[in-house]
């Protein structure tokens, strides 16, 4: 903005938002956060950077890059981070909770409805169509992430190796993540150009306009962002018991082999290794939940992902459905709905509480983490491995959506029984891919159209 004499005038920055104002905005974002992490991050950018100028673009991208280094849903972690900047720990708690809460309540209702009425023909037909669309969504995720991550032959080799490791070798997802990180770390020493981390913002962006947070930094009003000598020890001493205390208590009360102990332990592990987003971890979760634990069927797993795609909030809310289904089917002496609700709550707790821990622990050290080239190289290799893991997820879904039966041919490799091909599912999946890839239809319209088409096809 310029005066008549041509002198530049600073852009007026609004006053710092009150805690109540911030709470209203986080509620709005939680209710409207459809479209996966890309849509959620875009929504926060629009509301926080462009419209309200609570935070400048450079600092927003700086926070996002840090969140991309962490396991778990990066969009929720970004909300926690910005809420923490504005209003300390209480602000981070409110921002992160409201980002998840609306979707979690919707998912709880959908999970209950699904378990009670899935056998009703109309509901079964609707989910038949949703499954076909989910396959298209996962294939689209492989293509989208692959374009960003597979920048050279080294990354392609890592992706293929990861696919073979989880598909044929049945290696656990955490081991694949650790192996990829080690390869990236070592590779950075010998060929750093091949293992550079992928960027999630670029340095060529337009000149940054300072926001409320930036000016608060300049005035020295954000002392809580400076790490103290005992910061890491104190944060760990508080948040590890908050996260794992309920898991230990449930294991002690219900027994280490109970479904409650299994849910708490398994999803606590997933919270540590979920690099690359929900699609990456789902490949491992689907195999473990269906094959190892027997919590639900392959078809139900696909249905759960379809439900998660239709709700606001992080896609990782599909784990809430898995927790509900597992406890519902192993309710014991209590009501199945009550057991499912408790299993859902436990899964939510061990999935999202660690996100608060990661942010409150590491945010003060963000600059050190961002400038670590070896860490960036490890992240680049992990992202490439994630592509291979998601390829496995797409293949797993295709086998269980398009074919009624699969057979094992040794080494854990599954192949379809060709005579069990469901032409209706194949047709719906192909139509969903055309809608998304060629017609550029959105995810929600594709899911809705596939559900209605499934109802019409099964009526025939």
DSSP code per residue over 81-105: HHHHHHHHHHHHHHHHHHHHHHHHH
Per-residue pLDDT reduced to its tens digit, 153-200? 888 999 999 888 888 877 777 788 788 889 988 988 888 777 764 444
Among residues 434, 1, 91, the alpha carbon closest in space to that of 453 is found at: 434
Is the distance from CB of 136 to CB of 432 less than 8 angstroms?
yes
Phi/psi of residue 2, nearest 5 degrees: -125, 145
The pLDDT, as a whole number, for residue 369 is 59
> CA-CA distance, 276 to 383, in Å (whole number)?
6
Joined tokens for residue 116 = 């009670």
Burial label, 44 (beta-carbon count in 10 A; 0-12, 13-18, 19+) = buried
* The model's pTM: 0.71
The pLDDT, as a whole number, for residue 199 is 42
Is the distance from CB of 136 to CB of 425 less than 8 angstroms?
no
Is the distance from CB of 364 to CB of 225 less than 8 angstroms?
yes
Residues of the chain with pLDDT under 70: 1-13, 34-39, 65, 69, 119-120, 123-124, 145, 148, 196-209, 275-280, 367-371, 409-412, 443, 460
Is the distance from CB of 377 to CB of 184 less than 8 angstroms?
yes
CB atoms within 10 A of CB 171: 15
The pLDDT, as a whole number, for residue 382 is 79
Among residues 289, 287, 301, 283, the alpha carbon closest in space to that of 263 is found at: 289
Among residues 19, 48, 73, the alpha carbon closest in space to that of 271 is found at: 73
Phi/psi of residue 8, nearest 5 degrees: -75, 135
Could you give the angle at the alpha carbon of 229 between the alpha carbons of 227 and 231, nearest 5°? Answer: 55
> CA-CA distance, 162 to 160, in Å (whole number)?
5
Is the distance from CB of 454 to CB of 127 less than 8 angstroms?
yes
> CA-CA distance, 178 to 411, in Å (whole number)?
23
> CA-CA distance, 170 to 412, in Å (whole number)?
7
Per-residue pLDDT reduced to its tens digit, 70-124? 888 888 999 999 999 999 999 999 999 999 999 899 899 989 988 888 766 776 6
Phi/psi of residue 206, nearest 5 degrees: -60, 160
Could you give the angle at the alpha carbon of 175 between the alpha carbons of 239 and 374, nearest 5°? Answer: 75
**DSSP for 237-296, written as a single string:** HHHHHHHHHHHHHHHHHH-TTSHHHHHHHHHHHHHHH-TT-HHHHHHHHHHIIIIIS--S
Burial label, 85 (beta-carbon count in 10 A; 0-12, 13-18, 19+) = buried
Is the distance from CB of 99 to CB of 76 less than 8 angstroms?
yes
The pLDDT, as a whole number, for residue 13 is 64
């Amino acid at each position: 903005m310029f005066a008549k004499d041509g002198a530049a005038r600073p852009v007026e920055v609004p006053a710092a938002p009150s805690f109540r104002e911030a709470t209203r905005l986080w509620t709005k974002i939680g209710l409207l956060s459809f479209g996966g992490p890309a849509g959620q991050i875009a929504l926060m950018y629009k509301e926080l950077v462009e419209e309200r100028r609570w935070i400048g673009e450079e600092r927003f991208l700086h926070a996002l890059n840090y969140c991309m280094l962490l396991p778990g849903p990066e969009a929720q972690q970004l909300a926690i981070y910005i809420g923490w900047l504005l209003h300390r720990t209480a602000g981070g708690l409110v921002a992160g909770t409201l980002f998840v809460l609306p979707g979690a309540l919707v998912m709880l209702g959908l999970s209950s409805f699904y378990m009670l009425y899935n056998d009703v023909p109309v509901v079964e037909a609707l989910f038949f169509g949703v499954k076909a669309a989910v396959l298209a969504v996962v294939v689209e995720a492989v293509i989208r992430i692959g374009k960003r991550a597979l920048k050279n032959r080294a990354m392609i080799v890592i992706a293929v190796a990861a696919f073979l490791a989880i598909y044929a070798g049945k290696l656990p997802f955490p081991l694949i993540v650790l192996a990829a990180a080690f390869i990236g770390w070592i590779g950075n020493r010998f060929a750093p150009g091949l293992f550079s981390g992928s960027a999630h913002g670029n340095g060529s962006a337009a000149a940054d306009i300072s926001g409320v947070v930036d000016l608060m930094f300049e005035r020295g009003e954000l002392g809580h962002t400076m790490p103290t000598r005992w910061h890491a020890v104190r944060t760990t001493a508080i948040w590890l018991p908050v996260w794992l205390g309920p898991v230990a208590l449930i294991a002690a009360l219900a027994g280490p082999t109970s479904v409650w102990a299994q849910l708490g332990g398994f999803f606590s592990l997933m919270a540590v290794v979920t690099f690359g987003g929900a699609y990456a971890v789902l490949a491992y979760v689907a195999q473990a939940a269906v094959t190892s634990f027997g919590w639900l069927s392959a078809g139900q797993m696909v249905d759960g992902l379809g439900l998660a795609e239709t709700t606001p909030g992080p896609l990782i809310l599909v784990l809430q459905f898995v927790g509900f289904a597992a406890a519902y089917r192993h309710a014991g002496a209590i009501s199945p709905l009550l057991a499912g609700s408790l299993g859902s709550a436990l899964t939510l707790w061990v999935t999202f509480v660690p996100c608060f821990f990661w942010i409150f622990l590491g945010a003060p050290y963000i600059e050190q983490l961002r400038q670590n080239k070896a860490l960036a190289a490890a992240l680049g290799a992990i992202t490439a491995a994630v592509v291979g893991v998601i390829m496995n997820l797409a293949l797993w879904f295709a086998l269980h959506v398009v074919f009624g039966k699969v057979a094992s041919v040794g080494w854990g490799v599954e192949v379809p029984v060709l005579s069990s091909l469901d032409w209706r599912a194949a047709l719906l999946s192909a139509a969903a891919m055309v809608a998304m890839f060629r017609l550029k239809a959105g995810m929600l319209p594709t899911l809705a159209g596939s559900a209605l088409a499934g109802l019409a096809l099964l009526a025939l």
